[in-house]
Amino acid sequence: MTIMVTGAAGFIGSHVCIKLLERGEHVLGIDNLNDYYDVSLKQARLARFEDHPNFTLAKINIADRDAIQAAVADAAASSGPLKRAVHLAAQAGVRYSLENPYAYIETNVMGQTVILETCRHAPEFEHLVYASSSSVYGGNTKVPFSVEDRVDNPISLYAATKKADELMGNCYSHLYRIPATGLRFFTVYGPWGRPDMALWIFTKAIFAGEPIPVFNNGDMRRDFTYVDDIVDGTIRALDNAPVDDGDAPPHRLYNIGNHRTEELMRLIEVLEKAIGKKAEINFLPMQPGDVPATYADIDAIQQDLGFQPSTTIDTGIPAFVDWYRDHYGL
């Protein structure tokens, strides 16, 4: 059996690949190693597992349907049919969507379509798990955010593309009975993270003695979720496909967060302590497309899959700082 993981060189994707390989799976990794952020970081993530005998990397764009189909066919010939997929490749970042909207449509919308079509035509396919985002909650003021809430008020193009992904997932599950699970990730952080995320930006600036940009004058709250908890929830979802009862589409959505919301200024305090240096703060107004707070209601994934996040920022942030020091020799 082959499990396809898109975004294999990405933050979450690389961790998922390692976990699957550790338990003996054959993994087809898809990633085009684009330069949205430092490619050498992506290469370093891959270096941890790309020589594993059960891993194959296809350096292709997920929007390239012919290349994806060819890679799946090659993997099936050597490792068995494609039965499961974890689709994590995406153009991420709320603010960048203001600058390069076409990248979001190509990667997030066309890419989702290509993956859905690939799963549809795999004769023994069992389950697709794909990444959505807490950004779909948009301007919601009710907290915590529940999967039962309406999400038809996106305030960024990124959020709109992720909502589109959910709609397409449900549509394909309805039409072709493809079991699919969408995971709404909440502010993922940890070792091997993304340089465009606040924790990384703050850490880099504090080490360099530069001011950190703090939007909305610091009045921000986030449900920070450690990457190990995210990977655990993703694998739990992968191993538990929605049951097709012949009526409702075998499609479900879960919030996957830490089920606690932290003040941004408290995160900065924990980070300062871990680094051993005070931050110089540049308070700024709210950025377009951003939201003041996120907070995940995770009752559904707890009840269905036994997911229980266990890492607080008091543990997770020092772990990230330790990794950052080691990775950059600080």
Task: Give residue limits of the domains in the chain.
Answer: 2-187+226-258+297-310
What is the rounded average pLDDT of the residues 66-78? 96
Residue 279 dihedral angles phi and psi, to the nearest 5°: -95, 145
pTM: 0.95
| Rounded CA separation 242/312 (Å) | 30
Give me the sheet containing 127-133, strands edge to edge: 55-58, 26-30, 2-6, 82-87, 127-133, 180-185, 251-256
Instruction: Answer whether residue 289 shows pLDDT above 70.
Output: no
231-274 pLDDT, tens digit each: 999 999 999 999 999 899 999 999 999 988 888 999 999 999 99
What is the rounded average pLDDT of the residues 35-41? 95
| Residue at token pair 């990730």 | 185
Contact between residue 144 and residue 295 where contact means Cβ atoms under 8 Å apart: yes
What is the rounded average pLDDT of the residues 130-156? 90
Going by pLDDT thresholds of 50, 70 and 90, the confidence category of residue 292 is: confident
| Contacting residues for 71 by C-beta, under 8 A, at least 6 apart | 28, 30, 58, 60
Rounded to the nearest integer, the mean pLDDT of the chain is 94
Tell me how far apart the 2 most distant CA atoms of the chain are, in Å: 60
Chain centre distance of CA 197:
12
- Catalytic sites, residue numbers: 158
Give the model's pLDDT for residue 93. Answer: 79
Considering only the top CATH level, what class is 2-187+226-258+297-310? alpha beta
